[in-house]
Amino acid sequence: MDFIDNHIQHHRVQLTVTKTAERLSRGTDGEILDKISIKQTAPMGLHNSHPKLYPGDILEFPGNKYFSHFGVYYGERDGVPYVAHLTSRDSDTKLLLFGRALNSSVKLDPIDVIGKKYKVRNYLDEKHPPRDFYTHIKAEIDDVMTKPITFDILFNNSEHQATMLRYGVKKSEQIEKVYSKIVPTWRELFEKKKL
């Protein structure tokens, strides 16, 4: 399999969630004797769950039990792998109570600065085709790094930024999970006129 086929294969299959391997045994006349399916899950605890990263891959770094941090693999510089990610670490205005940080920015940092544990999370590849790294994503990263951004946990967090760069679509599964738990509770309180 050549490099291009390998790259296409990588983006068609969600390698970070599960890998399925099938072994076929054939008899002397070519009939299939058995088919064994083995499911392997790549845990977040591994240094990285995929042996090869491609520029434009979304990386998830575990945080607490509710939220993870996300970035986009940028490639290597002098043999060091880099990730572009939205961060508020240098922000002078943080409104922690409201989950906002003014003057946040997209930074380019070595992977190990962000975290030792990570996994590839290209989870929208089947719904939205990933954009080309060299013609779209890299230029957008280089441009957005020069601008201040407001970090907002609900509407513009690191996952939103990563999916926007890779797909051109803002999405955050972790926030959708939070909403799925909060909205029914609010609805119930509203219907009982307690809210």
Reported as a single tens digit per residue, the pLDDT across 38-83 is: 233 344 444 445 458 999 999 999 988 778 999 999 999 999 999 9
Q: Tens digits of per-residue pLDDT, 20-41? A: 223 333 344 444 433 333 233 3
Nearest to 54 by CA among 10, 16, 17, 18: 10
The pair of structure tokens assigned to 56 is 């434009």
Task: List, for residues 110-150, the tens digit of each pLDDT value.
Answer: 999 999 899 999 999 999 999 999 999 999 999 999 998 88
Check: pTM over 0.75? Answer yes or no.
no
Burial class (CB in 10 A: 0-12, 13-18, 19+), 119: buried
What is the overall mean pLDDT for the chain? 75
The reported pLDDT for the residue numbered 182 is 77
Rounded Cα–Cα distance for residues 109 and 84 (Å): 7
Nearest alpha-carbon partner for 86 in 17, 34, 156: 156
If we measure between CA atoms, which residue out of 149, 173, 148 comes closest to residue 159?
173
